Amino acid sequence: MHKLLKMLFFLAFVWIAITAADECIPRDFGKGSIVCVCNSTYCDSTPETSSEPGTFLWYVSSNAGQRMELTTGKIGHTEEGSTILTLNPEKRYQAIQGFGGAFTDSAAINIKSLSDATQQKLLETYFTREGSRYNLGRIPIGGTDFSTRFYTYDDIENDILLKKFSLAPEDTDYKIPLIQSALQMNPDLRFFSAAWTAPMWMKTNNNSFGFGFLKKEYYQLYADYLLRFLDEYKKQGIDMWAISTGNEPSNAYVPIVTINNMGWTAGTVATWVAENLGPSLDNSQHNQTLILGLDDQRFNLPWFIDLVFRNKVAEKYISGVAIHWYWDSLIPAVVLDKTHNHFPKKFLLMTEACEGSLPWQLQKVILGSWERAESTALKMFENMNHWVTGWVDWNLALDKVGGPNWNENNVDAPIIVDPETDEFFKQPMYYAIHHFSRFLPRGSVRLELEDSSIIFRSLTSIAFETPENKTVVLIYNRSSISKKVDIVDPRNGVINLELPALSMNTILY
Ligand SMILES: *[C@@H]1O[C@H](CO)[C@@H](O)[C@H](O)[C@H]1NC(C)=O
Ligand SMILES: *[C@@H]1O[C@H](CO)[C@@H](O)[C@H](O)[C@H]1NC(C)=O
Ligand SMILES: *[C@@H]1O[C@H](CO)[C@@H](O)[C@H](O)[C@H]1NC(C)=O
Ligand SMILES: *[C@@H]1O[C@H](CO)[C@@H](O)[C@H](O)[C@H]1NC(C)=O
Ligand SMILES: *[C@@H]1O[C@H](CO)[C@@H](O)[C@H](O)[C@H]1NC(C)=O
């Protein structure tokens, strides 16, 4: 064959291979929806696509099986729909911090149970530009319930010089190598950390859980302990953007909770931040590391933060309020507005969320569950429509029963691994988060988007402007009531759409 012809054949082949490379390989586990299957050589992705002026890109994922399906359209000028979403670019709200997930011990153990090539694909699907563009990673300090055992970094009683402090094999052999790979894929990845408890011997109840608090005489020692963790991670090239005051301190007040935890009162945590953690960070190489307050459920808002910030030194040291989603259905989102209104300079960040955690959800992992994608998406809309600046999912990957978890507190995750076949499954939940994270870079600002329908609202929506001045509108269609929708942008025109039933949509122009 002629050389040039050969070359053209080759190029045509490569082109087909590339354009086909983004598609989901579906597998139906009989739940009315699908997972997308990835392995050592293949994973679906969302390639870079730019829109011409006057046109828009529209990505859809749906209960019916669409996954990031792309359509392009022209921006028009006539309103046709029965639902009008009107953008008000003048009214601007919070700026986005980012999106991500947690490098728990269990996530790392699960990822490492796959072949090297499959591990690479899994990290790529979260952290690269063709993946979810995750730019936040939560790193537990020591063990959590999503570990295979209880431990802290110094379990030698009364080691008041921290001579026996050391990272665990879970860090050195599992988490750190994965975190380093993720950081290579996205240099813009920021990490934040949280301890579940201090070593037992520093606590009033000498226990890993229960009604126990940090002993007053160890306030400084515990701050030193946390700084040692920051030092050790920094030596591995992992700088911490932020550290929280501790995971879910309210668990100490709930007798049935046996997950590692340590209690705080608003007064004690404020004193400890003002006198120990804050000054220690300031006087160290970690002087750029921010402090996040709360790291706990919505029911603590706004009162707990109001009390903490009565201590003006603590208020100065704490940059943001970290929240978890587990009580979101019971406590209305207005508590987020209140917190924002009381302290408008402090950002709100979701630092832990997952499906399948409720005691009556007996099946912890439901492969292909669209209901869980919908629930995730709707909670993201709700929180971000109330000042929340980002969303950090819980375990990056779990096994088929939602573990391992030494406390039998298994839950679901956006990615489930199957080491027997060296595959992993991208759950519908993965795409719910991807619809946000893929299109909203750090610094994107929420714009007002008004829904004209008064009753029977079947759409949930939110809008942003990115730092590149792209407009991003997200819409979830959860019922069959309204016929068509128009997005009216006074600067650009009208976008007429008909959204599939039970669908998550990102519109970009
Ligand atoms: C990975 O999945 C792709 C797409 O389904 C398939 O063509 C390929 O053979 C699989 N590779 C392995 C190693 O199983
Ligand atoms: C604390 O608990 C450990 C067992 O978890 C025990 O060995 C130790 O003696 C206890 N220390 C005190 C001071 O009670
Ligand atoms: C703050 O951190 C930087 C870099 O980590 C370091 O060079 C500087 O000396 C630190 N400042 C203090 C007061 O320790
Ligand atoms: C975005 O728009 C603002 C104001 O309209 C302008 O100042 C800025 O330069 C624009 N940024 C980009 C990246 O085009
Ligand atoms: C939402 O889905 C329903 C059911 O298919 C459809 O009838 C309706 O038109 C859709 N809504 C919008 C606004 O596109």
Task: List the CATH number of the domain containing 167.
Answer: 3.20.20.80
Ligand 1 atom at minimum distance from 39 CA: 1
DSSP string, 4-29: HHHHHHHHHHHHHHHHHTT---EEE-
**Which of 282, 287, 289, 290 best tests ligand 3's pocket when mutated (most atoms within 8 Å of CB)?**
287
pLDDT of 268 reads 98
The residue ranges of the chain whose pLDDT is under 70 are: 1-21
- Please tell me if the CB atom of residue 41 comes closer than 6 angstroms to any atom of ligand 1: yes
Residues 421/363, Cβ–Cβ less than 8 Å: no
Q: Is 28 in the pocket of ligand 5 (CB under 6 A)?
A: no
Residue 160 within a domain: yes
Q: Which residues contact 79 (CB under 8 A, 6 or more apart)?
A: 486, 488, 494, 496
- Among 63, 459, 483, which is best to mutate for testing ligand 5, by the most ligand atoms less than 8 A from CB? 483
> Which strand (E) or helix (H) includes residue 317?
helix 312-317
Quick one: which atom of ligand 3 is closest to the CA of 287?
A: 1
DSSP string, 49-110: ----TTEEEEEEEETTS--SEEEEEE-BS----SEEEEEEEEEEEEEP-EEEEE--HHHHHH
Q: Tell whether 474 is covered by a domain.
A: no
pLDDT, tens digit, for every residue of 265-318? 999 999 999 999 999 999 999 999 999 999 999 999 999 999 999 999 999 999
Residue nearest to atom 2 of ligand 3 (CA): 285
d(CA 25, CA 171): 33
Please give the residue range of the domain that contains residue 186.
Answer: 96-437
Whether 333 lines ligand 1, by a CB cut-off of 6 Å, is: no
- The whole-number pLDDT of residue 164 equals 98
Report the alpha-carbon distance of residue 193 to residue 230 in Å, rounded: 9
Establish if 40 belongs to a structural domain.
no
Per-residue pLDDT at 482:
77
Whole-number Å distance, alpha carbon 282 to ligand 3 midpoint, is 8
**pLDDT at residue 2, rounded to an integer:** 54
Is 491 near ligand 4, meaning CB less than 6 Å away? no
Is 83 contained in some domain? no
Say yes or no: CB of residue 468 within 6 Å of ligand 4.
Answer: yes
Q: Is there a domain that residue 467 lies in?
A: no
The total of other beta-carbon atoms located within 10 Å of residue 5's CB is 9
| Shortest-distance Cα residue to atom 7 of ligand 1 | 42
Q: How far apart are CA 228 and CA 223, in angstroms?
A: 9
pLDDT value at position 453? Answer: 80
Pocket mutation for ligand 4, best pick of 90, 469, 491 (most atoms within 8 Å of C-beta): 469
Cα dihedral value 264, 266, 272, 274, nearest 10? 160
Q: Structurally, how many domains does the chain consist of? A: 1
Residue 461 located in a structural domain: no
Confirm whether 219 is domain-assigned: yes
> How many CB atoms neighbour CB 430 within 10 A?
26
Residue 483 domain flag: no
**Residues known to be catalytic:** 248, 352
